[in-house]
Structure formats: structure tokens, C-alpha cells
């Protein structure tokens, strides 16, 4: 039986029933036919698509129709700065980079540095502006094409964005935000307005280019309500409805819920040292193993509830390796401690490279910032 | 008996009971003691103060305390562009110029070009941006000190203003805007957010100067609800509560209500030709005269309800002249047609000069625009 769950842009909790969400949000499941169609252009299928980590979409067939008519799309995704980046944040961005490379398209990356300031009592604008930079280094470290990637920061690019945001805002009532986000009358008026700012990058490139360009938004499913509200509004402003690809959440180390950056023990940060990574996984990673080694060898573990295995499905690109791990764990040949060590090695290997690139990124930030032409 | 009336930032109608408004809004009447105190610094008392056209205030004694301690204030007023400027708009600005000259202070003049776009279905942003320029020419024509006057345009200065507006917005709930402005759930989320932008110039000069500077806002009384909401918020952000001076509305030509720019027949625009002015006043100005000349000569007219006379109290600086007109009209010595001619001459004399200066202003706009230092 499924537990209750909540998925809004500001709260994700519980054991999420993704099929239920697809129905509730009115999106489409990604099926084999769509995967084949994507493969026609990308030659290969990213493991996050193969494994149904990206599992839902809006209007992908329309987007590919346009692409095949030489009407190229741009990508839009983002990060609301409020804390350090953990592995869960990287999931959609790793996939977004693959999309950028395979389709050779522009990426607009928004850092709405006012969002968490407006939604969290204890965060100042100085805090979110500090985290914008810290977070941007992680984005840059992933290797996005510098010439085709444009960072938008709401308070820095307000001259460009506010003017467009009010056009969006004029077409959204408070009633609509109540229905979509569950707002009450106690909500502050900045938080109420905010969704307008998140809508802007879905059509701003069209405003700048003075022609209508299709938009594809890869994102965590929790962000979908913003676009459920704004898709019709964007059409009324004369631009294409954005297409979307939605991914599942990397579960928390301690069990099946979205990894929350605010809980040290449930997340691994991109700046964690190898020792911290090792300790966290050994201490907190929820295990699908048996009570004793003897019992585990005899009856085998349960990879389907084991978080170390679940994490490897998000991080290990090699299907064959992953399959072997699955079977070995299930048969009891692989112990929980050994499975955890595989994950530790995988993450520390990744972070060693990432942290080097992240250091270099500190000098590259300015080059990624969008300069109004 | 008084009729019902409504005074909000977006609607003023009915025969306004200003005493009732003072109680309702919680402001103070301007009394002789305050006038004397102002006169200590200004040497003379502006006719709009003498005649109780500016009739209400907030915290003027505190402001003068600070001024006397050499803590100079700045002035903040504005214009929400949505149509052409009529004489009613000029009333608080003429007085604001006097304040600027007498106290030798900076003036921040806001043109919130998104406001009426958000509040009126049929206005586009192009419309309001067009009217911003048209309106700015009128402001410049009044002769504000160019070196001490700074225009802020919300969509042009969004980089500066949005960041401050969200700090305001975080401290105002939708419930508060419902109570202050009568908003319903059908209100669009840009309109709900807007009051935050109108609050910003009340403390932005302090942000820019990096020190706390007192602020005085001369305004039509309909704008007071914005600051009733935001005065406490501004304090929480660490700045002084703005002081305020409130003026009455120039009545419509056709009778006692605020002159509405949307009704051609009730307003005189700064761009009206002498012939148009003459025709409008002859045709529409509500008269306190008698049915026949004979009856008028015998019983006299009623200047207290005569709009031509009322308008002269706003426009004729000379008390003596005004008194004579009052008595002559009341005695029947002055006919309605003669009274109207006095007003026509007064307005056409003023507009002749104003229109010349307004033409020159078209080349001066850039010099008044605030440049971020």
C-alpha cells in the first residue's frame, strides 16, 4: 500500500506514486514509441530515459515535429538557490546537458534568487545570492556548452524579466494560484507573484530573438505546477506552449522520499569529502539486506527497496554492471556493505572530478551570465 | 446630506467627505500650528496649504524635527501613466515643486508604468510606456530642479527596484491587501504584487545613499492606502516611516467628484487648445448661478457649488482676486458667463506657458532619468 504523498514546488514528501501524479498533473508517460523517436535524432538513449528516471512529458511529439521541420527548440531549466547542491539536484542537469549536446541547442538556465527568500522566513536575499554563485559553480562543472548556455538571475536580470513577468501575471488570478499551489490568504504577495518570474524564461528567448522558438523544459516533477498554470498564458502572449520532460526524485539516503538539502543526513553534497561520503552512506543508506550475513547469503537482499542500489540506478551509466549488482544482491552473493562500497566508490570517483571542475568554474561564471545584446 | 463615496488608489467617486476620510485613514488634519511651523522654514505659506487643498498629513512634526536637526528629507511622488495629464494631476505636483524649492531637497518621481497595465484590461504595456513619456514632459514642464529630480520608471529601473520590492512583498500578505484595497480572489497576481513596487521609492534613496534619509510623500489622498500598508513594513526593513501630505481632488468640471482622465468632458488636458478649453468650460462647467440673469443679479450665485469658482481656488494664487470673485459672484455682480471667462483666461494663460515648456521638455527627459551610480 502506498503512503500519502505531497508534490508541490515547495514541498515533496512521502512515498510518491508517479502513475497517480501523471494522472493528477495531466501529463503523458514516456513510452517506447517516443523513445524510438528521440533515438532517431540522438542515436542513443540516455540511461535516465531507458530506466524511466525521466518518465513523463508534455508535448514532446509536437516538439520533435517542429525539430524535424528545422524549427529548433531551446532548453530551459533552473535552480532556486537556497543551499548547497546535492546529488539529487544534478540528476535533471546531467540529462539536460545530454540533450544540449545531442540536439545542439541553446540552454537558458534560471537562478530565481528571490524564490526561496520569499518562501522561507529565515533566508535573506544575501543568503540566496551567495548560494546562487555556489550553485552556479556546480552547474558549470557539469560541462554545459559555454557558448550556448545563458544564466538568468532574477534580481540581476530584472530589467529584462520583470517587464515580461507582469504580462504573465496579468493573466493569472489569485484563485488560480490557490488551486495550483494550495496558497492561502496568509501567503505573502511576493510569493503569490513569483510563478510569473518562473514562467518568463519559457518565452524570453523568443522575445529576445523576435521570433517564436519552441521550448523544452527538463525538470523535477515538483516544478510542473508552475507550467500547468502558465502554459495557456504563454499561448495567450503569442508564444508556443513549452514542452516538458519530468524526472523522478532521487530518494533520500534514509528512505523513499525526495532528498532534502536541508537534512544533512539524507543527502550527499557536491562538496562532501570522500570520508564524509563514506560515513553518510555507511551510516544512513537504507538497506534492503537481511538482519544477518548468514540470512542474507541464504535468502538474498531486496534491491528494490535498497537505497544504495536505487542511487546506482541514477548514477551508474553501465546497464550491464547495474544488472549484475541487482542479481548479486538479490541472490545474496553481494552483501550490503559491499553494495554500499560500490556506491561509495562510484560517488567519490564522480565527485573527485566534479570538485576539480567546480574549482575551475569559479573563474568562468561571468562567461555564462546572459548579457543583454 | 453627503452622498456615498469611494476612495481607493484605483477608484475615486462620489461627493467625498474629507473629514470622514481623515478618520477612516487615520491621518491628521493640517492645523494652524503646523502651518506656522512650516512657515518658519518656507517664509511663506503656499496657497494650497492656506486654502486647505493640502489638508491632511502623517508625521509632519517628526519630519520637521529631523529637518531642524539637519537631517534633510527627500520628496517622493509619482504618476501612473495611463492617459494624458489633466489639470487635476498637476495640483500635487505644483505643490511638490514649491516644497522642493523651499526646502531645497531631492525629489524622486516614480512612473509605475506597469500599474495601470495590470489594473486595466484594455491597456497594453506599449500604451503605458507611451504615456510615461507624454506624462513626463508635463512633469518636466513644471520646472522641477533638474539636478535634484530623479525619475524612476518601474520597467526601466527594475534591476534597482524589483530586489527591494520583494523585501516589501515578503512582509505583506494577501489578507492585508484584501483589507486595504478591497481585492478579491479574482484579482491578478501582478496587481496584488504591485503595491510593493509603489513602496520602493519611499526608501530606495536610503538604500542608494547607504544611510537612512527621511521621506515626505505629497500625494492625492487616494494613494494613501499604499502607504498605510507599507509604513510598518518600511520600518521593519530598517528605514524611517515616510511622512505624508494629502491633497483634495480637483472636482470634475461637471460636478463634485475627482476629475477622471477617461472622461473627456470632465477634464481639461495640458495639451488642450485655447478653443477646446473655452468650449469645455462653457459647455460642461457646473454652475452655481441662477436660472436667469435677472434672478442672478437679484439673489446672487452660489460659489460654494460652482465648479468654475472651485477650480479657481486650485489655480488662482492671489487671495485678494479670489475673494473679490467670491463676493461678486455671491452678490450677483458677477455672472456665470463672466466667472467662466475668468477661469478660461486663467487656464489658457497657464497652458500657453506650460505648452511651450512641455515642448522643450521633450529634449530634457534623459537628464531627469535616474542613472544608477
Average pLDDT score over residue span B39-67: 98
Average pLDDT score over residue span A342-346: 98
A238 has a chain B CB within 8 A of its CB: no
Q: Give the model's pLDDT for residue A92.
A: 97
Residue contact B185–A195, C-beta within 8 A: no
Residue contact A188–B171, C-beta within 8 A: yes
CA angle B3, B9, B15 (to 5 degrees): 15
Cβ-contact B198, B112 below 8 angstroms: yes
| pLDDT of B10 higher than 90 | no
Q: Where does the pLDDT of residue B1 fall: very low under 50, low under 70, confident under 90, or very high at 90 and above?
A: very low
Q: Which residue of A has its CA nearest to B128?
A: A163
B155 has a chain A CB within 8 A of its CB: yes
**What percent of chain A has pLDDT above 90?**
92
From B155, B165, B169, residue closest to A163, measured CB to CB:
B155
Cα–Cα dist B141/B359, whole Å: 8
Q: How many CB atoms lie within 10 A of CB B193?
A: 28
Question: Facing residues of B218 across strands?
Answer: B245
Cα–Cα dist A354/A272, whole Å: 11
Q: Which residue of B has its CA nearest to A161?
A: B158
Average pLDDT score over residue span B211-239: 96
Residue contact A158–B163, C-beta within 8 A: yes
Q: Give the model's pLDDT for residue A170.
A: 98
**What percent of chain B has pLDDT above 90?**
92
Q: Which of residues 16-55 of B touch A (CB under 8 A)?
A: none
Query: What CATH number labels A257-359?
Result: 1.10.240.10
Q: Give the model's pLDDT for residue A324.
A: 98
Q: Give the model's pLDDT for residue B12.
A: 84
Average pLDDT score over residue span A259-276: 83
ipTM value for the complex: 0.93
Residues of chain A within CATH 1.10.240.10 domain(s) are 257-359
Question: Best residue in A120, A166, A168 to probe B by mutation, most B CBs within 10 Å?
Answer: A166
B236 has a chain A CB within 8 A of its CB: no
Q: Give the model's pLDDT for residue B57.
A: 98
pTM of the model: 0.94
Q: Give the model's pLDDT for residue B265.
A: 77
Residue contact A185–B174, C-beta within 8 A: yes
Residues of chain B within CATH 1.10.240.10 domain(s) are 259-359
Architecture of domain B259-359: Orthogonal Bundle (1.10)
Q: Where does the pLDDT of residue B5 fall: very low under 50, low under 70, confident under 90, or very high at 90 and above?
A: confident
In Å, how far is A348's CA from the nearest CA of chain B? 39
What top-level class would CATH report for the domain A5-249?
alpha beta
Average pLDDT score over residue span A235-242: 98
Q: What is the mean pLDDT of chain B?
A: 95
Residue contact A174–B154, C-beta within 8 A: no
| pLDDT of A373 higher than 70 | no
| pLDDT of B226 higher than 50 | yes
Residues of chain A within CATH 3.40.50.620 domain(s) are 5-249
Q: In what order do the strands lie in the sheet with B107-111?
A: B28-29, B54-58, B243-247, B215-220, B74-78, B107-111, B149-153
Amino acid at each position: 500500500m502506498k503512503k500519502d504523498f505531497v508534490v508541490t514546488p515547495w514541498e515533496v514528501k512521502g512515498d510518491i506514486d508517479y502513475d497517480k501524479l501523471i494522472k493528477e498533473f495531466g501529463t503523458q508517460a514516456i513510452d517506447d514509441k517516443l523513445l524510438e523517436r528521440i533515438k532517431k535524432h540522438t542515436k542513443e538513449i540516455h540511461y535516465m530515459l531507458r530506466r524511466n528516471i525521466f518518465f513523463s512529458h508534455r508535448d514532446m511529439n509536437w516538439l520533435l515535429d517542429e525539430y524535424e521541420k528545422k524549427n529548433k527548440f531551446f532548453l530551459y531549466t533552473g535552480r532556486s538557490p537556497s543551499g548547497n547542491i546535492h546529488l539529487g539536484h544534478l540528476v535533471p542537469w546531467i540529462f539536460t546537458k545530454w540533450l544540449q549536446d545531442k540536439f545542439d541547442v541553446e540552454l537558458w538556465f534560471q537562478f530565481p534568487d528571490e524564490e526561496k527568500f520569499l518562501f522561507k522566513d529565515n533566508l535573506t536575499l544575501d543568503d540566496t545570492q551567495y548560494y546562487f554563485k555556489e550553485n552556479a559553480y556546480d552547474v558549470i562543472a557539469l560541462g554545459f556548452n559555454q557558448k550556448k548556455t545563458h544564466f538568468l538571475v532574477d534580481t540581476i536580470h530584472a530589467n529584462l524579466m520583470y517587464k515580461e513577468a507582469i504580462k504573465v501575471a496579468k493573466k493569472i488570478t489569485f484563485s488560480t494560484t490557490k488551486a495550483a499551489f494550495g496558497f492561502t490568504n496568509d501567503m505573502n504577495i511576493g510569493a503569490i507573484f513569483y510563478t510569473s518570474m518562473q514562467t518568463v524564461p519559457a518565452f524570453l528567448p523568443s522575445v529576445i530573438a523576435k521570433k517564436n522558438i519552441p521550448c523544452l523544459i527538463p525538470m523535477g516533477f515538483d516544478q510542473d505546477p508552475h507550467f500547468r498554470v502558465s502554459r495557456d498564458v504563454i499561448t495567450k502572449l503569442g508564444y508556443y506552449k513549452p514542452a516538458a520532460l519530468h524526472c523522478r526524485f532521487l530518494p533520500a539516503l534514509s528512505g523513499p522520499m525526495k532528498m532534502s538539502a536541508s537534512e544533512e543526513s539524507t543527502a550527499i553534497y557536491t562538496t562532501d569529502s570522500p570520508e564524509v561520503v563514506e560515513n553518510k552512506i555507511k551510516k544512513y543508506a537504507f538497506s534492503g539486506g537481511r538482519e544477518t550475513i548468514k540470512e542474507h547469503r541464504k535468502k538474498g537482499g531486496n534491491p528494490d527497496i535498497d537505497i544504495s542500489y536505487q542511487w546506482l540506478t541514477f548514477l551508474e551509466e553501465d546497464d550491464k554492471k547495474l544488472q549484475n549488482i541487482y542479481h548479486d544482491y538479490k541472490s545474496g552473493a553481494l552483501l550490503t556493505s559491499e553494495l554500499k562500497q560500490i556506491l561509495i566508490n562510484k560517488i567519490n570517483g564522480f565527485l573527485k572530478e566534479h570538485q576539480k571542475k567546480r574549482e575551475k568554474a569559479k573563474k568562468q561564471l561571468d562567461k555564462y551570465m546572459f548579457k543583454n545584446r
